[in-house]
Structure 1
Amino acid sequence: MSINVRLMLWFLAISLIPCIVLTLLNNDRAVRSLERSVRSQLLSVGASKVTQLDNFIRNRRGDIAVISQAPRTTQTIEDLSAAMAKGTLTDAVRQEKEKLFRQWILGYMEAYGYANLYLFDADSRLLYRTKADLDVGDRLLSGPLKDTEFAEVFERSRMLLQSEVSDYQTYPGLNEPALFLAQPVLKEGTVIGVVVLQVGNGELYRIFSDFSGLGEKGETVAVTRKGDQMIFVTPTRHDPKAAFTRKIRMGENRSTAAQKAVQGDRGYGRAIDYRDEPVLAAWTYAPAFRWGLQVKQDLDEAYESIYSQRLLSGLLLALTTAAVVWVAWRVARSIARPVREAALIADRVADGDLTAVCANLKAPGEAGILLQAIRKMTTDLRSLIGRIQKSSVALMSTATEIAATSKQQEQTVYDYGASTNEAAAAVNEISATSKQLVETMSEVNLLAREASQMAARGQASLGGMDQTMRQLAESTGSIGSKLSVISERAANINLVVTTITKVADQTNLLSINAAIEAEKAGEYGLGFLVVAREIRRLADQTAVATLDIERMVKEMQYSVSAGVMEMDKFSEQVRNVVTDVQKIGGQLGQIIGSVQGLDERFDSVTEGMKVQSQGAEQIREAMMRLSEGAQQTTVSLREFNKATDHLREAVGGLKEEVSRFSVGQSAEVTPGAGTSGASFLSRA
């Protein structure tokens, strides 16, 4: 992956992972907090409903106890029971005996909201009732209502001698289900009758129609169990006609919380209500009525604030992602583009192309320093290689001239040998041809001087070539030193990166300390906690960026070290060539000395020929010496030719090495010129 992609991925990881973790943590805390709040609210409402029901029944028990213990009630039951036993209970007698009791009980019932009141004797015969809406027959326990809750509550109260409450039940003749309370009437410890009150449903229904704290859809459901069925005993918020009409079989997947409640269980959790809707419910048991109570709130309504928070968090996360991608792209582009350009130029230089031209690409910080260093290195290499190429051409030309001169000298020596043979053959005619021999020796002397002069020029040319090779060695050393400077600067960059890393670590520690102090400050430190987290995030980003810079600087140091090693090898080759040139110069000096010695011998021969006093023997000996000198000269010239061939091979190798570099039209640029910017070739 490119630096752009890696930096963008790191930016996204560094910025989004904390955001996602924070969002998840906040969402989890919000859900937990909301669940605790909803649970507390539902449990509180459920407990409140149970308390209200207990108070309702307690008050009704108190009311029926007052009625059962009132002297008027006792007197009325005794009078009506006695008249019924004698068979004298006519309508007139009944009205007379009921008159005072009726006036009192009607006011009491109206004040406390009771629907009806019944007085029975101990044998369940009806003595009195305020409204004739139920057919109880001659006796309650053997009449039409013998199998109802009405008869059962009468029997329990008479047997247990205490107030009893029936379950809600529908009765023929009543428009609504009815609830009855029964209380025995005692006289001297003996049951003389039973008072039965029919409780009005209005106040009880008001308890369940109070939806305070349950939102717009929450409600309290009261159920009772009959066999394997669960029966709703009160209207619901979503079904006003649910009382004793809505029934659910035990074990179904609906109203699971209510089923647990009617079985005497208490708890809280998620459940499915009678509408097949998921709800949060608290269920409990109301022992006063033997009812199961379910206080519930729809799940979507309870979690509405959480859903809104999640939507807002998602939008913020999307905006954060877009912003991070944009910033990461900008930062990655500002770092990767100069590095890419530097790598392209370095690759072209490695391939031998030194014609890279500068553009106006700006790069800040260490990337700009890197571009500037590579730009200076390219300029210096272009200038150096240009000079080396020119020097190699000059060396090749000089080597060619030396080879031509040596061949000419070899031919001249060959002529010397031929002249010597002719002189030996003409010894017998020395007397006749002495004048001609003198002239010939003069010509030979002239040729020797010319050979000496040509050898001197060859030695001078080798001296110039030696100077050029020394300059080449110095230039190579200069390149090595400049590459060393680049390596030192890269090391300095490493020091700066290390310092930045330490600063990032310290900043991270400071942000952690600041976060701890902000946590200690509570809600007053929330703003400072956000700032500390942002500082820690920036410190982490700085540490990641410094690691990338350190890696790139190490790669540059590796490349520069390889360049230094190559330049060291090249310097060693140049020094070897200088040594060879020095050897050739020495050999040319020997040739010049030999030629100058021939000049002196030719002078002696000429002088001898002039005086001719030493005779033909001396001439023969002189000619022998001349022949030996010619042979030595031939050997020296052959060695000189070999040295010249070696020089040409060395120069050819040098030219081949530098020929792969292309310096274009800027080979004459002065090293180090134009280093005032950090811009290079920019590719679209």
Structure 2
Amino acid sequence: MILSKSAPLSTKITLLFALLIATCIVILSYVSSNSLEDVSEQQLNYMEDEVKKSVLSSLERGGTIAGNKVATLLKQSFSIPLTLAQIFSDSAIPQKPFSREKVKKVTHSALKANEAISSLYTHLEKDGYDGLDDQNRNNFEHSSNTGALEIYWVRENGQTIFYPTEDAGEKYIETINESGMRESEWYLCPRDKVTPCALDPYLYEIEPGKSELLTTLSAPIISQGKFIGIVGADINLPVVQTWIEQASTGLFNGKSMLTLISQNNIIVASTKYKDLVGQPVTKGSNQLLQFAKSSEKTHITDENWQVKVDVNLEEAGVTWKLIVSIPKEVAMMPVISLKKASDETYTSAITSLVIHSILFLAVAVGIAVWLAKSISSPIKSVSDSVQNLSSQEGDLTQKVHIQNHEELIRLASGLNDFMNKLANIIGGSKAVSQQLVGLMAELDSGAEQVKNDTDNQQMNLDNMATAINEMSVTAMEVSRLSQDTATNASDANDILTGTQSSLQGTVTEIEKLSINMTETGEQIEKVAERTQNITSIVSTIQSIAEQTNLLALNAAIEAARAGEMGRGFAVVADEVRNLASRTQTSTTEISDLIQFLQTDVDVAVGNLTEIKQSVDVSVDATKDSFEQLANGVTSINAISDSSVQVATAAEEQSQVSEEVNMQVVAISDSSKQLAEMGETLSEMSARAQELINDLNAQLNLLKSE
């Protein structure tokens, strides 16, 4: 390591001085860099504020110009229906009204004189203008089917065309259309409010497959404070889209975006949402709708800067909103350019600072090297003198001679005094070393004797441990065999006990079987007795059937004697005789069955008697076996107890032998450790002897006399 304790002093001084200078340079560079960065940041913030004010002001001016142009178009277009409505109001009855042809011509002239208007129309209530409706029924040159004055002029392909109104009721339709307005809002609004109305823009199909955005400006015709009709104008709004696009081109090189929103939030014109013209603004952007409804004039987001300009149509009391927006990166382009230039300047300044810092550091390092050499040269002279001293084969009688610099002279004097003291110490150490050699020889002899005695003791302990270990193994074998005998006896006892229990149960069950068989024999004997009773009853029934048969025969004979009078009685007698005959047949069959049953019962009684005798013999034999098995269990219990006692005694003997063996092994281990300690002591004595010899050799190298 450069800064390790053994590094040259000149190197340390040079490096530390260079680090100090470098640290100062880094601190100054850091402070300078932060100062430059702070100044640059302040300038950028100020520039950003100024750019923001300038951009918003430019957006507002551009929006105001475009909004005024749209407002002028609407106002100029609205002036036509307002003027005509005032003329017709002043000329309506009871004043002197114009002829209907004149009204038609005036309306036509007004449309031709204003290119911005696509259609101009006058519609009046029944008898609202001249009171001549009944005279003009179905006169579609200027009236409707009801005779009401209805004028409708349209500009198509540069031509003005008159369309007659065949149904006067069309202006009263209140059905809500897709735009959320009544179908006849152009008429109903000024009628209901009795004020001029400007409708939301809407798409109108001017020809199949082609629609244009229109807005309607309607002015009420009022006579003597009463609404009598309207004058309305439809204005083509595509020109507004053209104006909006032109205004966008003139703002920030066409990178601005303009959107004109009606009073009911319908997109009138837009450079961004061209496909949504005539539709609610929510289909394009909810944020745009929120800004249009808010009272704020400016709105800044992370993406766009926006300015809102009001387009007022005072005659109708409505206000459209023109929102001018520009992407933030476009608005901030001057600030971005300035920041880029500032970054380049900052980088250049930092580069220059680094270069000058490196040059200054190089000069400082040169000065540090010169200063280090001027300090380390005298010290190196002292070091060389000491090196020469160490190279003279340890001659402590040599002296160091320094005559330059007071500090180094004092250092050389102190070093000479130290070598004198060291020479005295070395002389005393040599004498002590000789004494230590004699003591180590005696120690080595004693260690050898301890080693020999320990080896003999170890041999005797090994023989004793072997004998005890063999006795322990024998005792453990006896214990194991005794335990196996006791275990087998216990298992045999458990088996015989289980067999005894099973045999006891068998005896009990056989005794129950004998009792049940006895009871069954008694029941069968009772069945035999009952069978005899049934036989007696069947005999009685058979006697009754024979007597009934005789009575029926006598009755039949008497009926035959009676002739026709006894014929019915003869039929009954035949039936009784047949019944008696069947009864006699059945009783005979029952009697036969009972005879067979009685025979089977007698056989069963005989069999049961033989089985009962066999069961009695089995019970007696089972009882004898149970008694002999009980005697065997008693004998095995005695054998098991004796085996357990033998196993316990053998286990205790094995444990005692094991403990003795462990003690002998412990003594043997201690003896081994003692032998090892003797060997270690001998080795240490030999090593100490070698060290003392080495020490003497080293001390002999130093010349102290």
| TM bucket normalised to smaller | 0.3 to 0.5
Q: Give the TM-score of the pair, scaled to structure 2.
A: 0.43
Q: Which has the higher contact order (CA 8 A, sep 6+)?
A: 1
Structure 1 or 2, whichever has the larger Rg, is: 2
Q: Give the TM-score of the pair, scaled to structure 1.
A: 0.45
